[in-house]
Amino acid sequence: MQHATDNLVSIVTPAYRASRFIGSTIESVLAQEHTRWEMIIADDCSPDDTVDVVNRYAAADSRVRLVKLNQNHGAAGARNAALEETRGRYVAFLDSDDLWLPAKLRVQLAFMAETNAALSFTSFRRITQSGDRTGRLIPVPERLDYKSLLKNTAIVTSTVMLDTSVTGPVRMTRVYYDDFVLWLSILKRGVVAHGLPSDLARYRVVKQSISRNKANSARQVWRTYRDVERLGFGSAAWCFANYACRAALKYRSF
Contact 114, 128 (CB under 8 A): no
Going along the chain from its start, the domains and CATH numbers come out as 5-208 (3.90.550.10)
Residue 243 is which amino acid? Answer: Y
pLDDT at 53 over 90: yes
Model confidence pLDDT, tens digit, residues 161-195: 999 999 999 999 999 999 999 999 999 999 999 99
Residue 29 is which amino acid? Answer: V
Query: What does the pLDDT read at residue 12?
Result: 98
pLDDT at 36 over 80: yes
pLDDT band at 214 (very low <50, low <70, confident <90, very high): confident
H/E stretch holding 246? helix 233-250
Mean pLDDT within 94-122: 98
State the Cα–Cα distance between residues 106 and 112, nearest whole angstrom: 10
Model confidence pLDDT, tens digit, residues 236-246: 999 999 999 99
pLDDT band at 208 (very low <50, low <70, confident <90, very high): low
Kindly tell me the burial class for residue 40, based on how many C-beta atoms sit within 10 Å of its own C-beta (0-12, 13-18, 19 or more).
buried
Q: What is the pTM of this model?
A: 0.94
Among 35-44, 77-86, 182-191, 212-221, name the one with the lowest average pLDDT.
Answer: 212-221
pLDDT band at 212 (very low <50, low <70, confident <90, very high): low
H/E stretch holding 57? helix 50-60
Closest CA to 75 of 121, 42, 120: 42
Mean pLDDT within 199-228: 86
Closest CA to 172 of 68, 93, 69: 93
Distances (CA, A) of 189 to 133, 143, 178, 193: 39, 15, 17, 11
